[in-house]
Amino acid sequence: MRLMEKYNFVSLFAGCGGMDLGFKKAGFNPIVAYDIWNVAIENYRKNIGDHAQVVDLSNWSKPKDLECDLVLAGSPCQGFSTIGKRDIGDPRNSLIIKAVEIALSLKPKIIVLENVPGLLQGKHKEYWSFINNELQSKGYQTKTFLLDARDFGLPQSRRRVFIIASSSKADFDVFNFSSEPQPLSNCLKNVLGLPNHNPNILDLKSKDYIIASKILPGKKLCNVRGGEASVHTWDIPEVFGNISGKERRVLEAIMRLRRRNRRRVTGDADPVELGKINLEVGFKSDLLVGKLIEKGYVRVVGDFYDLANTFNGKYRRADPNGISYTVDTRFGDPKCFLHPVENRGFSVREAARIQGFPDDYIFTGNKRDQYKMIGNAIPPIMAKGIAEKILQII
């Protein structure tokens, strides 16, 4: 163990320390961690160490005598994520370039950069190309890995890109991971009485509870798909209102037609002409469409008609014998994610468990911030697995 203590690392965009915690558990020594969010740094300091600092890295200058063996950087991913707008000009995108600049100024043996798979797609791949060219021009050997949290035994689908750069020749073939993920239900056992396990219990008469009670494992509230995983609003008349058999046929016709008859090159669906609806159902539906508008199931879009609720998945409930959806910043909201067997959202502790945080990592601050820290974090178990491979090549 003493041999490993000499490997010091600097952490950029550290957040609450998910990646740092994994590297620390593998035997590496954190000497300084930077992040601009004071709440995340407060949690980092309480759980990992007082070497964390609130710093705006866009204006960072190298402290005198700062030296390290590794630099870790999990720069903001919002501009690269396929969930967001993927604005190529998002100012946060340039922070990954800043991370490379800072890392190179410290001249470490190893640089580890982490981001979302969107970094490798479309125009955003320009950033990936620039990073690799810049590191290689400074004498680093680089390798890009697309890794999934499932391969580290975690019960969630969470794919991330890691760029690893070594200042000396390295055998990157050691970076293979193939652990079987544990079932989600195992991950959520024995949480009663633990810190941060204070789930919000839904009122039995609330709309959220009634909807949740209709969503079975592996299903979601979804109006724009007709597969087995979709529960439609018209399947829950207790909340959304009763409809007739013919009205249901009209709604299902619109659901199919809006994706089949495309007029625009963007998006994945378009509002539908009344004539096309009539042809699809095989009868004149004008009056029925009017009634569905009154009931709030259909909306008018110019001369066309569309479903009033065109979301693709709310109240998602994962299979307890399978894996979780990707943990994100909304994981405590039952409108987005439901506990696999209970009609409620996930507690902070449950979200942390799925992310691979140990139970002795105690989150503080308001709940919204706690979920945000967890959702933005790199799973510590994933980071530990990568760190152990780096020990083989350093």
- Size of the chain, expressed as the number of residues it contains: 394
Neighbours of 263 (CB within 10 A): 10
Give the integer Cα–Cα distance in Å for 232 and 234.
Answer: 5
**Helix, strand or coil for residue 315?**
strand
**Helix, strand or coil for residue 106?**
helix
Running DSSP on this structure, what letter comes out for residue 379?
A: P
User: Beta strands 312-317 and 337-338: pairing type?
Assistant: parallel
Give the integer Cα–Cα distance in Å for 16 and 34.
Answer: 10
User: Beta strands 230-231 and 298-301: pairing type?
Assistant: unpaired
Q: Which one of 16, 68, 77, 336 is the catalytic residue?
A: 77
Closest CA to 162 of 145, 148, 140: 145
Running DSSP on this structure, what letter comes out for residue 63?
A: P
In the block, tokens 């633990």 appear at 194
In the block, tokens 């791949």 appear at 125
Give the integer Cα–Cα distance in Å for 57 and 162.
Answer: 20
**What HEC string does 131-199 produce?**
HHHHHHHCCCEEEEEEEEHHHECCCECCEEEEEEEECCCCCHHHCCCCECCCCHHHHCCCCCCCCCCCC
Query: Is 16 designated active site?
Result: no
Give the integer Cα–Cα distance in Å for 306 and 260.
Answer: 13
Please report the DSSP string for 294-334 in residue order: HTTSEEEETTEEEES---EEEEEE--TTS-BPPP-TTTT-T
Helix (H) or strand (E) holding 95: helix 95-106
List the beta bridge partners of residue 365: none
Instruction: Report the catalytic residues.
Output: 77
